[in-house]
Copies of this chain bind each other. A is one copy, B any other.
Amino acid sequence: MARIKTDNNLTRKEVIVTKAATLFREKGFKAASMRDLAEAVGVEAASLYNHIKSKTELLHELCFSVANRFLHKIDEVELEKTGSVEKIEKLLRFHINEMIHHYEEVYVSDREWKHLSDPYLSNFQNQRRIYRKRFAAIIETGIKNKEVKSIDAPTAVLIMLHAISGIESWHRSVQKISAEELEENMISILVGGLVNR
């Protein structure tokens, strides 16, 4: 079989990780095999091992690169000198865009992280928990300064994140509105549901 094709200046490893994301989303991490992955990449299974150690290593890479992007974003948003609603909207737009434009990786990191192995598993779970707490803290501040209506902040986070995970259905639907319209509709409903009037 051919060597691993690298379009768009991706390294060979990046090509493998990208194909793995698609495969893990479609089949689930457990059911996906290295043989399936080799087929998707277009090489023999043996040559994958020149670039990666194991299927689990691929899941680690996927989950932690998604986690890094979210951490980086919330670090940035927390430091901004803007109101709480603006911060919430910025985070929501980031989540929505990740689900639209990095669907495969975000889906896998969101659904398949249970198959991580320790120490990565507990580390990842902790990061998720802390991320949600920091998001809830931004909402709490908004409630204190009367920008946000009086609600239970962790419940608001739960609603937002699950609502956004619904973009999965958007990806699967045949007749769909544009990504921009989807984003504006989600922001209108979700931010609209939080603000204090």
Q: Which chain A residues have a beta carbon within 8 Å of chain B's beta carbons?
A: 149, 151-152, 154-156, 158-166, 169-170, 177, 181-182, 185-186, 188-194, 197
Contact = CB atoms under 8 A, between A and B. Distances in A.
Contact of A192 (B149, B154, B164, B165): B149
A158 B166 contact: yes
A193 B189 contact: yes
Copies of this chain present in the complex amount to: 2
Given A162-B163, A166-B161, A155 B186 contact: yes
A57 B169 CA distance: 27
Contact of A152 (B177, B191, B192, B194): B177
Given A158-B166, A191-B193, A193-B193, 19 more contacts: A149-B192, A151-B189, A154-B177, A155-B177, A155-B181, A155-B185, A158-B170, A159-B185, A162-B164, A162-B165, A162-B169, A163-B163, A163-B166, A188-B193, A189-B190, A189-B193, A192-B192, A192-B194, A193-B194
B158 A188 contact: no
A160 B170 CA distance: 13
A182 B152 CA distance: 8
Nearest to A185: B155
Given A162-B165, A163-B163, A169-B162, A156 B189 contact: yes
